[in-house]
Structure 1
Amino acid sequence: MSEESQPTRAIVAGPDADGLGEALENEGVDVTRLDGVISRPQLEEAGIVDADLYVLTDVGQATTIPIVCDLTDEIRTVVYTEDSIPEFVKAQLDIAVDPKLLTPAIVAEELLG
């Protein structure tokens, strides 16, 4: 089987009150959810090394972005929240989106398009 036939995998970290995880699932993405204080072992156990997307919805867990980038170069990092993103993380992000500007369905389509 070619790599293209594999479903896209995403780790959604945080409460996801806006429903981006569900929108990704509606697009056929295999979503794993993490909540609470997230550690490197939790990320590894969730399959971060094989994931295509890391979606963070809680900037209180922004320190996970450098961890994710350290574990794999083959991942797109996304923050989906109204909250301000800490400066130390911005350089490692692929995209940051405010839920007030784009709906979860539009963001999911764009991430997969």
Structure 2
Amino acid sequence: MSEVIVAGGDPEEIGAALEAQGGTVRYAEGTANRSALEAAGIERADALVVTDAGLATSVTVALERNPDLRTVIYARESAPEFVRGQADHIVDPELLGPDTLAEELLR
């Protein structure tokens, strides 16, 4: 897995950690809506990392464009109930640092 889209701000610097592990990182701007995800290359991405639980709908939108996408909510806030069945992983940054998550995601 090498192409990862990050949606939301990146307070934990997961983007830098992914790049340090050899990943290609692109960012979905703004609210990570359909057009922002498409502009970031969601169709060819291997994974989506959402860093703001308020942007959880981007998981649903992204999976419509790329059903094989691996999805991770990487946020301190609780993920909304509707996305819990769609996200492959929901991770609190206090429990798993960005370097460890990047290593696991790019394995």
Q: What is the TM-score with the length of structure 2 in the denominator?
A: 0.95
Matched, 1:54 2:52: no
Counterparts of 2:23 and 2:10, CA distance in 1: 16
* Larger-Rg structure: 1
Structure 1 residue runs of 4+, over 6 Å off? Answer: none
Counterparts of 2:32 and 2:12, CA distance in 1: 20
> After superposition, where does 1:84-95 map in structure 2 within 5 Å?
84-95=78-89
Q: In the comparison of the two structures, how many residue pairs are matched?
A: 107
Deviation at 1:73?
1.4
| 1:31-66 per-position Cα deviation (integer Å, ceiling 9, x unaligned) | 001242222011111100100010000111111111
One-letter code of the match for 1:91? G
CA contact (8 A) 2:28 2:39 kept: no
Deviation at 1:84?
0.3
Counterparts of 1:36 and 1:11, CA distance in 2: 13
Paired residue for 1:9, among 3, 8, 16?
Answer: 3
Matched, 1:105 2:94: no
Cα RMSD over matched residues? 1.1
SS at match of 1:110: helix
Structure 1 unpaired stretches of 5+: 1-6
CA contact (8 A) 2:29 2:36 kept: no
| 1:62-98 per-position Cα deviation (integer Å, ceiling 9, x unaligned) | 1111101111112100011110000000110000111
- Residue in 2 aligned with 1:3? none
One-letter code of the match for 1:67? V
Structure 2 unpaired stretches of 5+: none
Aligned-pair identity in percent equals 45
Q: What is the TM-score with the length of structure 1 in the denominator?
A: 0.90
> After superposition, where does 1:70-81 map in structure 2 within 5 Å?
70-81=64-75
